[in-house]
Structure formats: C-alpha cells, structure tokens
Amino acid sequence: MPITSRTIAGRAVNPIGLGCMSLSWAYGTPPSDEDGAKLLERALDLGYNNLDTARIYGLGHNETLIGKTLAARRNEFFLASKTGIIVDGDKRRIDCRPETIRAALDESLRLLNTERIDLYYLHRRDFTVPIEESIGALADLVASGKIGSIGLSEMSAETLRKADAVHPIAAMQTEYSLMTRNPEIAVLDVCRELGTTFVAFSPVGRGALAGGVRDAGALGAKDIRRSMPRFGGENWAANRELLDRFEAIAAREGVTPAQLSLAWVLSRGDHVVTIPGTANIAHLEENIARWDWELPAAVSAELDSLINRETVAGGRYAEAMQRTIDTEEFA
C-alpha cells in the first residue's frame, strides 16, 4: 500500500517535509533571496506542507526569508522553528533558560511574520538547566497561544521521557538515515510509545545518499561537511564504495538514490516523517515525486545489510560538536 499522510501534533502533514537550512547556511554558498523565495513558493505548490527552520540558520536570515515570502500563504503549511543555540558575535552557546526561550520566541514570531509557530523545538539540550524547567516555560507558551506544540532536537530517550512528564512532546528531531542509526538505540521506540512524531533530518546523509557528493575533498571551504569525519580521507573512500552499490540498487528499482533513501527512512514506522533540505528546485521536485512509494521488504533488508553502523566509516560529528549532543551513542 502507498504511504499516506502522517501527523505532527495531531495535524496531518506530507511525510516528506522541507528542511529550510540550506537556503541560508551550511552547505557552501546559499542561494540569493530571490532564488530562495522561488524555491519556497514552489515547495508549497508541489504539496510540501511541513516547513522546518531555526533561528541559527543564517542568524535569523532563514526565518526572515520564510516570513517575507510566505506570509500570504501561512495557512497552507505547518511551521516549525527552534531555539536554544544562541550566537553572540563570534561566540556560540546553548541556552535554554526560560527567559532566553521567551525572548527568542518573540523574535522568531517577528521575523517569521506570524502570530503562532506550530511546533517550537529546543534545538539542543542545555545541560546547565533542568529539562523540566525549559519544558515548563514552553508549556506556558503553548497556553498563551504563541506556539502550538513542543519539540526536542538531538536529545536522548531519557530526556524525552523527563520532558514528556511535564508536557506532551509533539516531535523529536534527530539525524536519521541508512548512514546514521543512533535513533535505533532507543529514541525511535520511545517516540512510538509516547505518541511523539519522530522527525528525521539529513535523511539523505547530507547529500551522500542522494548521489550529490562524489569527491568530498572538493567541498567548499565553508561547507560544514568538511569537519565531519565520514566525509574525510580514508573514511570517505570506504563510504564511496558503499554508495556506489547503493546507487546501483536505486537504478535497479527505478528510483533515484534520494528517493530510495527517503523511502527507507519512512519505512521505519508510521510515526516517522522526514525533512530533506535543498537549495535546488530540481532536487525539491525529486524528493517529493515518490513520496507515497512503499519500500519492498526485500529491498529494505538488502539496504540494511549494505549500509549500517558497522559498515559506515567515520562518525557524523567531530569530537567538539559531539559533546553538545544528547543522543545515545553506540558503544
């Protein structure tokens, strides 16, 4: 059977949403505001109805672009944003104190040109503030009508349970793909148990599983993948061999590598949605074109055997970044 719509916070959404980060930051030079606006408009026209942004994406640029471009179409999409990573000049910190959350939300509402954000995430765990205290502040914002629901990003099953005891957590957003299996340790199952939607970011392995990276050494100087171990040296050479075989399976099945990657993620449970990001309209169209394709069980097993935590070389983050993440890690 084809995949049907799924839900976040009780609202039906297309299982494939849009991660908007690439329009402002991270993977080399972002597009112009004009081109970014064209992509956002095209996304809604294609049926994308779950848009994900964050204050840190371009230091407010991403929220501003969405607010300027889509204000007149605000009722057509579910809007998620995030706070918790604060940048002051050249300094970056994680801050989930209640007063910081409240001030950040008011600024996001202004930039997004809206009176309500449907889903507001804590972008990272603040280990200096009890999670219950941060969630209590967010619960007050739900009661005020400024946000519709609460999400967590890159946090553990234990943290999710603590947070959910204070207020229902609508979504947990964490990196998940064939190449990144950490959610399978615990949080994917706990999300199902609690009724929390699992939102998979980087479902195409930051482009690797979409056929978009042939020579990792050629990535631009400002591309964040240059600091990620699995894109470097011998690790990348080993991973490239896996990806060649993966791409051959996609060709055999009559789909693109990106479409195969997305289908695999969505096959992991009906509580899973995904938000691939792109700054390219052709990729935007490709990602959603086969959104309802159900991955055959035999192909899923073949992929699991080929690309998994034992076969992928290199971690997803360098050590310094890894220390800021609350997700479970394999031994």
Task: Name the burial class of residue 45, with classes exposed (0-12), middle (13-18) and buried (19+) by CB atoms within 10 angstroms of its CB.
Answer: exposed
| Domains located in the chain, CATH noted | 9-320 (3.20.20.100)
Quote the strand ranges of 179-294, DSSP E.
197-201, 272-274
Token pair for 122: 């804590």
**Percent of the chain predicted with pLDDT > 70:** 100
CB of 191 closer than 8 Å to CB of 198: yes
pLDDT at 1 (0 to 100): 64
**Euclidean distance between CA atoms 40 and 114, whole angstroms:** 16
pLDDT (tens digit per residue) in 140-173: 999 999 999 999 999 999 999 999 999 999 999 9
Tokens representing residue 159 in the block: 């943290």
Range among 83-87, 186-190, 221-225 rated most confident: 186-190
CA distance 234 to 153: 30
Alpha carbons 141 and 132: distance in angstroms, whole number: 14
- Please tell me the distance from the alpha carbon of residue 70 to that of residue 85, in angstroms, as a whole number: 25
In this predicted structure, the answer to whether residue 21 has a pLDDT above a threshold of 70 is yes
* Residue whose C-alpha is closest to residue 256's, from 289, 304, 305: 289
Query: Which amino acid is located at 44 in the chain?
Result: L
Catalytic residue among 57, 120, 121, 176: 57
In the numeric block, the tokens 């049907």 are attached to 4
Which among 179, 199, 178, 207 is positioned nearest to 280, based on CA atoms?
207
State residue 160's pLDDT score.
Answer: 98
pTM (2 d.p.): 0.96
Per the annotation, the verdict on 57 as an active-site residue is: yes
User: Is the pLDDT reported for residue 199 higher than 80?
Assistant: yes
More confident residue, 264 or 325: 264
Tell me if residue 269 falls in helix, strand or coil. coil
